[in-house]
Amino acid sequence: MTTTATPYGQDHFGFATEQVHAGEIVGGDFGARITPIYLTAGFVFGSFDHARARFAGDDGGLVYTRYGNPTNAAVEARLTALEHGVDSLLVSSGQAAITVALLGILKAGDHFLSAPSLYEGSKTLFRENFARFGIEVEFVDDPHDIDDWRRRVRPNTRAVYGETIPNPKNDLIDIGQIADFAREAGLPFVIDSTASTPYLIRPLDHGASIVVHSASKFLSGHGASLAGVVTDGGTFDWAAYPDKFPQFSTPLGGAGTPTLVEKFGATAYLEYTRTIIAGRLGPVLSPLHAFLLQQGLETLSLRVGQHSRNALAVAHWLEAQPEVSSVDYPGLPSNPSHAIALKYYPRGTGSVFGFTLRGGIDDARTLIDSLELFSRMSHLGDVRSLVLHPGTTSHAHLTEEERVRLGIHPGLVRLSVGIEDEDDLLADLAGAFAAVRATRPVRATADVAAVFAEAELPLSA
Ligand SMILES: *Cc1c(COP(=O)(O)O)cnc(C)c1O
């Protein structure tokens, strides 16, 4: 069997070449061109001594799919190449990726800092589940104020966390600035790049330490399965902080034996997270689903390019509608994150964003129920266009005050713009806006009533 090597003297092929070829397994017993799906729980040992060597890790071979599988390894190698990392770990979902990535660093009694705008599922995971493990999250108020981060560092702070393109508000963080702070503070910077993918940004190139993704979204694109990935940049110096991160600097087999860092060097963190965290907690990705993810990855640049072009066109169109009070898309020059978008996202800022209707929840309901091409769904990064009302779904568990603070107004609608033809998407939106306008006469009567009520005048004298 062969895997594709880069040309002599080159670290990397181009993005599109790597998304098709990096890590691929060609050949096998039958000369298969496509990486085979190794659906097997375990791997045969040739002899008594072979089994012993495998368990000791002496020949680097495979033991059991919870610890490693050739199909998963091929896809991990592809993701490592695309992210400019040193190693990757596939797990069963994005939530599993975030969990194991942080549990590879944090233990009970530790504290970590996070940007305030995050995927709501991550926030509840941190606030509720991690709290039960004795791990405390603290959100900064203003992620652009580095003093706000610095002020909150405590003796037990162990990590910094953020997202590339938070949804639905798309309030971008300055990754390089936060990475500089994290490095100064001696903390690994973990970043969720689900909404951007390595095609739009490689956070490791901007100083992040570890990247996580929900691979269920853009990386797969087909929306047929869940997956998650953790990619290690291999740059964080774990051995420099033996008291903060003892798991990497403790001799593995007692005094005189090597530590994880001595044994694995730049991949020590990923090795620990793969074997000790994910290998024991068990959120393994089925090789069948690793294969489905690989199929999606092969067209990533084509899809994300089209997603971003469509999203920009939709955002411009929405901004011109009188019913719309704001569009949260950083590709628009009017958007507060536009400068960061120009600095970090030259290829576009993806396709998951919100916009707010002046008419509030009533207009949102009419609009969402009138769309035909957009599927009403809790998912994103799919080739199909999707729509959701965050206030009554993903953010419904918050109080009204919390929602307002996050900018989740009753009229906020979230889109995940797909790769369909731009004209068809705009036509679908135009039809739904026409339906909203058609409700106006009814609303006008209600508004007159409100004016009379406010002035304390009887409606019918
Ligand atoms: C969807 C999503 C997750 C969770 O991923 P799953 O694959 O659904 O577990 C995490 N982070 C972000 C930004 C997401 O969009």
- What distance in angstroms lies between residue 214's CA and the mean position of ligand 1's atoms? 5
Peptide bond connecting 287 to the previous residue in cis, omega within 30 degrees of 0: no
Interatomic CA distance for residues 267 and 48, integer angstroms: 30
Higher pLDDT, 59 or 88: 88
pLDDT of 323-367, one tens digit each?
999 999 999 999 999 999 999 999 999 999 999 999 999 999 999
Mean of pLDDT values over 71-96: 97
The contacts of residue 274 (CB under 8 Å, 6+ apart) are: 67, 68, 89
Higher pLDDT, 58 or 330: 330
Token pair 């490095």 in the structure block, residue: 183
Atom of ligand 1 nearest to the CA of 98: 10
Of 23-37, 255-269, 307-321, the one with minimum mean pLDDT is: 23-37
Domain 15-297 has CATH 3.30.720.120: no
Q: What percent of the chain has pLDDT over 70?
A: 93
The pLDDT value given to residue 191: 98
Cα 16 to Cα 30, 94, 199, 420: the distances in Å are 27, 24, 9, 21
Q: Which band of pLDDT confidence, cut at 50, 70 and 90, is reported for residue 447? A: low
Q: Which band of pLDDT confidence, cut at 50, 70 and 90, is reported for residue 252? A: confident
Interatomic CA distance for residues 357 and 409, integer angstroms: 9
pLDDT of 14-24, one tens digit each?
999 999 999 99
pLDDT of 156-176, one tens digit each?
999 999 999 999 999 999 999
Question: 197 CB less than 6 Å from ligand 1?
Answer: no
The pLDDT value given to residue 29: 81
- Whether 448 shows a pLDDT value over 90: the answer reads no
Domain map (residue ranges) of the chain: 15-297, 300-454
Of 220-224, 262-266, 447-451, the one with minimum mean pLDDT is: 447-451
In total, the chain counts a number of residues equal to 461
- What distance in angstroms lies between residue 371's CA and the mean position of ligand 1's atoms? 25
SS (H, E, C) 388-449: ECHHHCCCCCCCHHHHHHCCCCCCEEEEECCCCCHHHHHHHHHHHHHHHHHCHHHHHHHHHH
Question: 122 CB less than 6 Å from ligand 1?
Answer: yes
Atom of ligand 1 nearest to the CA of 166: 13
Tell me the CATH class for 300-454.
Answer: alpha beta
- What distance in angstroms lies between residue 177's CA and the mean position of ligand 1's atoms? 24
Question: 163 CB less than 6 Å from ligand 1?
Answer: yes
Q: Which band of pLDDT confidence, cut at 50, 70 and 90, is reported for residue 1? A: very low
Mutate to test the pocket of ligand 1, among 190, 217, 289, 386 (most ligand atoms within 8 A of CB): 217
Answer for the pair 252, 259: CB distance below 8 angstroms, yes or no.
yes
Q: Which residue has its alpha carbon closest to ligand 1 atom 1?
A: 214
- Whether 35 shows a pLDDT value over 70: the answer reads yes
Cα 20 to Cα 34, 77, 141: the distances in Å are 11, 12, 41
Mind giving me the DSSP string for 222-250?
A: S-S---EEEEE-S-S-GGG-TTT-GGGTS
Mean of pLDDT values over 262-274: 97
The pLDDT value given to residue 4: 54
Mean of pLDDT values over 181-199: 98
Question: 216 CB less than 6 Å from ligand 1?
Answer: yes
- What distance in angstroms lies between residue 243's CA and the mean position of ligand 1's atoms? 32
- What distance in angstroms lies between residue 390's CA and the mean position of ligand 1's atoms? 15
Question: 329 CB less than 6 Å from ligand 1?
Answer: no
Mutate to test the pocket of ligand 1, among 194, 220, 226 (most ligand atoms within 8 A of CB): 194
The pLDDT value given to residue 305: 98
The pLDDT value given to residue 12: 85
- What distance in angstroms lies between residue 95's CA and the mean position of ligand 1's atoms? 6
Q: Which band of pLDDT confidence, cut at 50, 70 and 90, is reported for residue 384? A: very high
Mean of pLDDT values over 125-141: 98
Question: 214 CB less than 6 Å from ligand 1?
Answer: yes
For 315, the 3-state DSSP assignment is helix
- Whether 452 shows a pLDDT value over 70: the answer reads no
Mean of pLDDT values over 22-34: 88
Interatomic CA distance for residues 259 and 432, integer angstroms: 61
The pLDDT value given to residue 7: 60
Mutate to test the pocket of ligand 1, among 200, 201, 216 (most ligand atoms within 8 A of CB): 216
Atom of ligand 1 nearest to the CA of 380: 15
Interatomic CA distance for residues 284 and 67, integer angstroms: 8
Atom of ligand 1 nearest to the CA of 381: 15
The pLDDT value given to residue 387: 98
Mean of pLDDT values over 242-247: 97
Q: Which residue has its alpha carbon closest to ligand 1 atom 6?
A: 94
